[in-house]
Chain A
Amino acid sequence: MEEKLSLQEWIGLAEHKNISFGDFCIEFQARELEISQEELLSRMETLLQVMEQSVEIGLSGIKSMGGLVGGNGKLVEEYRREHPRESVVGTVMSKAIMIALAVGEANASMGRIVAAPTAGASGTLPAVLFSLSEAKGCSRSEIAKALVVAGAIGMVIASRATLSGAAGGCQAECGSAGAMAAGAAVELYGGSPDQVGQAAAMTLKNMMGLVCDPVAGLVEVPCVKRNAGAVATAMVAAEMALAGIKSVIPVDEVIDVMAAVGNTMPCSLKETAQGGIAVSPTGLALAKEIFVSS
């Protein structure tokens, strides 16, 4: 068994060097991969391009394979255009919601996406990265650096817990995507290494216990909208962390607890479509319809 990674340890190393968590992760990951820091960032920028294309796919009037989602990102886009002063959550968050839905819907309709960390949770990171970087006017390499931070958080979660809904429920998929996005948001806004960890911890705590209950077993309902939910949770946590609020429970412990909660979750709530909203009367009826038509 490989030794577990520790986010706290990495944060400590970044603090010791007195550099941002992003700079630490780039240095560290480039060394691990035996590539230059420029190469690492350029590969991240390529992934950012794919993410941007998947937003476009999602807003282009698509329908998912199972027919349960498609067009929701577009609805938010239209609402933003037609009601510019009536956003409940503010224009930045509303843009993030639009992106999260669009990418989730691109994924559900066989569009090309970056699994980050998974296909089902692929809307969360692009949503947070693109909405915040636009609001703050970040450079391309700053966004790429934030993506490296997200990746580092995801590596620790994969090592101590899981990123798979089948193994840990939605808390492990959208929850992890949210934690990664929250850390990335803190990095984009110039937060400290410690604040990156606090944001990740608070996101995971606020999504603790979320089950994976896809209707008909498809990555459509509730997956697409859960990405928008993860975005909101991530942004709330990032805001709290930047304000100096700390998670009472340290981040590595929160990740371990998420793993333990996932292990105690019954199989019916881990991507098997045998529990949760998948077995609501409407969920079951939809599943029957989809299977009959296939």
Chain B
Amino acid sequence: MKRRAFQLLAVVSMGCCALTLRSARRPHYGGTLRAEVGAAVLSIDPAFPTDTAEQNNVREKLLALMCDRLVTLEEHGQPKPALATSWQAAAGYKLWSFRLRPNVMAQDGAPLTADDIVSVLEAANPRWRIAAATNPDGSTMLNIELPGADPSLPAELAMPRNFVFRRSANGSLVGTGPFQVSAWQAGHQAVFSAFDAAWQGRPFVDSIELKMGRAVRDRLIDLETGKADFVDVPPDEARRAADRGARIRASLPDELLSLEFSRGPRAAEDPAFRHALALSIDRSALVNFVLQRQGEAAGSPLPQWSSGTAFLFAAAPDPAQTKQLAAQFQSVPALLLGYDGANALEKAVAERIAVNAREAGIHVNVQAESGAGNTFDARLVRRRMISPVPRIALTDLLLQWAPLEGADIAPLSDPAAPEDLYARERAAIENDRVIPLVYLPETFGLSARMRDWKSPLPASGDGWPLAQVWLEGEGP
């Protein structure tokens, strides 16, 4: 080998570019993370009903800050230990035993007990029979008897409905997660403080100050002016915010926006009419112009990252076939399409669909839903995946769509072969009673000082990774 001397390549002078180069890889402790969200969550308690899906979504994220589950999911959707360190099934997946993690401290200073877990899981899953037992070695087992076989129980235990907590004497929630609620003003603001004895380790930031019910404009202004470190941003606003210099991060898409047809004696009851409408929609235009490229065109119930088969479903418009089909519906009344009037994104999507339909010769009127009394032929509906595991997510969608079909849904086999999932996805949309439009991601704005943000696996129940982030300039 050729011998050569070291070369002096660069000189970093004292204090040179200190402001721009001061950075480090190892996390810093300390500081208050300022978060703002649009939803106004009235209670973090899952027993308290929420008004909107957005409120429910944010509440699940907040619960994930303060509570744990028996099991979580790793990045491929496989269960991994959390409050349970191991598990095994018996009796054809009807009986499950979970070994509980020892020495888990709750936020009230007392250890988490098996009874706490039994109580909360029974409330969330009334059909399960749950009992705790102590092994000769002193470890504690949680035994769950199911009404039927369920090979996917560990993955289901990772879902947000199975957060573990106990109730204090005044009824408030006591969790074991990285943060504890230290102040709560319903619908307005909250403070979450770092829990030093969290079994997964204390979070890096000392606290999170959360403002709720903030308008998107105010959230983005606060982000841009350094008054907020973390804000949720509607997908259709994300591109514009990024163009203005905001630091935007998007998850993999986990929310399906689709057209769902009501059952009734209308033109929409004709499958050919629905098919013509489905073929008229330019989903790429929805993604590129309405969503500002935040999202993916959807031709199937599940997104490609989850199923791997979304590409097999056509999502492109077919103008020629549309016109051919639509010709037979020239004299039928216009289809009435409803959307959430409080949601600018849905309004823009609805109007775009009407334009596509009109170009194909189909008459569509769009109208904001204004509570009871509206009778729509079809609605724009957003459905968030309840799990990243395709079988679980699809099962939930099929159950939600069952009333549209007016028929019960046959259960999916477990485990389900990819061909089975594909066939059920295709069957679910083959009569166009549901027309998938786009998959939406969750998008967030982050301050420049927030570090180590890693988007969690969507729909995994892991929530926002705020226990793992740290703030530059804080510390130790």
Q: Indicate, yes or no, whether A interacts with B.
A: no
Residues of B within 8 A of A (CB): none
Which residues does A use to contact B, with CB under 8 Å? none
